[in-house]
Structure 1
Amino acid sequence: MSIYEHAITLNTGEEITLEQYKGNVLLIVNTASKCGFTPQYDGLEALYKSYKDKGLAIIGFPCDQFGHQEPGNDDDIAQFCAMNFGVTFPLSTKIDVNGPNTLPLYDELKNKAPGLLGSKRIKWNFTKFLVDTSGNVVKRYAPTAKPGDIEKDIIALL
């Protein structure tokens, strides 16, 4: 299945397919509002503002599977992100990235870019996947990788 065939529901309730991002570099991140990595929203937004007009798209996927660090509903999450970090890139509805209810997009991402030692499981919030302009999953980044640390990889794909 092409990454572009996946449907997601934005936190606004709008259902889209990733087809609309064809030709863009896409950064996909599972997020949480009460995590030690939550300040990465600042870096993600900075990347988005710097490169969205050059073809970068970022989608945040709130997830509450790690230490109950995303307890709010979709409206709470959107409000938190906008008020505290000025987030303007799209967010999905809250999803699962592991287990029986994993969003199919995440199954594909994990299969195409496994983690350390071939592990497919997402280990924590703010795991990032970089997708090129043709829909190829290029790289997976650990939660500890700050958005600024991957800027050079994004630039190389734009």
Structure 2
Amino acid sequence: MNDQQFYDFSAQSNRHQSISMETYRDTVVLVVNTASNCGFTPQYEGLEKLQQQYGDRGFTVLAFPCNQFGKQESGSDEEIRQFCDLTFNISFPLFAKVEVNGRGAHPIYQWLKREKGGLLGDGIKWNFTKFLIDRQGRVVKRYAPTYKPELIRKDIEALLG
């Protein structure tokens, strides 16, 4: 049995600094694989609204850009950051581009998929798949790319108490 926890991982920020997930202990976290040129890209707006609404109560979105689906995130980390800043003015953490499937999948995504498999297998099917993590670092829910961020509010509120 694998006893890894969310807090055991780290990832490179979009500005190439190593960030320990321990930083988010006692925080409700929504992990999302994102892309700048996807039909779901407008979800950035909904994600930012969640961040604004719940950030001061111990919630954060963590965005992990990924280019594995239709090559919809082909830009450099700097280009991705500029796009997110200029288009959506995001305030939540943006990480360096990662892979979410295959042998090169980031360890966080390997763990997330083990913790909450998908409807048709564990692999991530497309951009904007979302994982909700409680204050104890447990994955409590996985949402399909089509599931809009605003629909996650009740689940976030339940975890925030």
Q: TM-score, normalised by structure 1?
A: 0.98
- 1:104 correspondence with 2:107: yes
The answer on 1:77 being equivalent to 2:77 is: no
| Amino acid in structure 1 at the alignment position of 2:23 | Q
Q: Does structure 1 residue 138 correspond to structure 2 residue 151? A: no
Q: What fraction of aligned residue pairs are identical, expressed as a percent?
A: 53
Aligned to 2:125: 123
Tell me the equivalent position of 2:159.
Answer: 157
**Structure 1 counterpart of 2:40:** 37
Question: CA–CA distance in 1 between the matches of 2:20 and 2:89?
Answer: 25
Counterpart-to-counterpart distance in 1, 2:25 and 2:48:
21
SS at match of 2:72: coil
Q: Which residue of 1 aligns with 2:93?
A: 90
CA RMSD in angstroms comes to 0.6
Which residue pairs with 2:22 in the alignment? Answer: 19
Return the offset for 1:85. Answer: 0.7
Please give the alpha-carbon distance, in whole angstroms, between the structure 1 residues aligned to 2:34 and 2:152. 17
What do residues 1-46 of structure 1 show as CA deviations (whole Å, max 9, x unaligned)?
1110101000011101100100000000000000000000000000
Is 1:2 aligned to residue 5 of structure 2?
yes
Q: Which amino acid aligns with 1:148?
A: E
Deviation at 1:115, TM superposition (A): 0.7
Whole-Å separation in 1 of the counterparts to 2:73 and 2:118: 23
- Please give the alpha-carbon distance, in whole angstroms, between the structure 2 residues aligned to 1:77 and 1:151: 26
Provide TM-score, normalisation by structure 2: 0.96
> How far apart in 2 are the matches of 1:151 and 1:115?
21
Regions of 4+ moved over 6 Å: none
CA distance in structure 2 between the aligned counterparts of 1:16 and 1:33, rounded to whole angstroms: 22
Q: Which runs of 5+ in 1 are unaligned?
A: none
Task: Report the alpha carbon displacement of residue 73 of structure 1 after superposing the two structures with TM.
Answer: 0.4
Structure 2 unmatched ranges of 5 or more: none
> Does 2:45 match 1:53?
no
Q: Distance in 2 between matches of 1:143 and 1:74?
A: 22
1:56 is matched by which residue type in structure 2? F
Distance 2:82 2:69 in 1: 21
Deviations 1:33-61 (A, max 9, x none): 00000000000000001100000011100
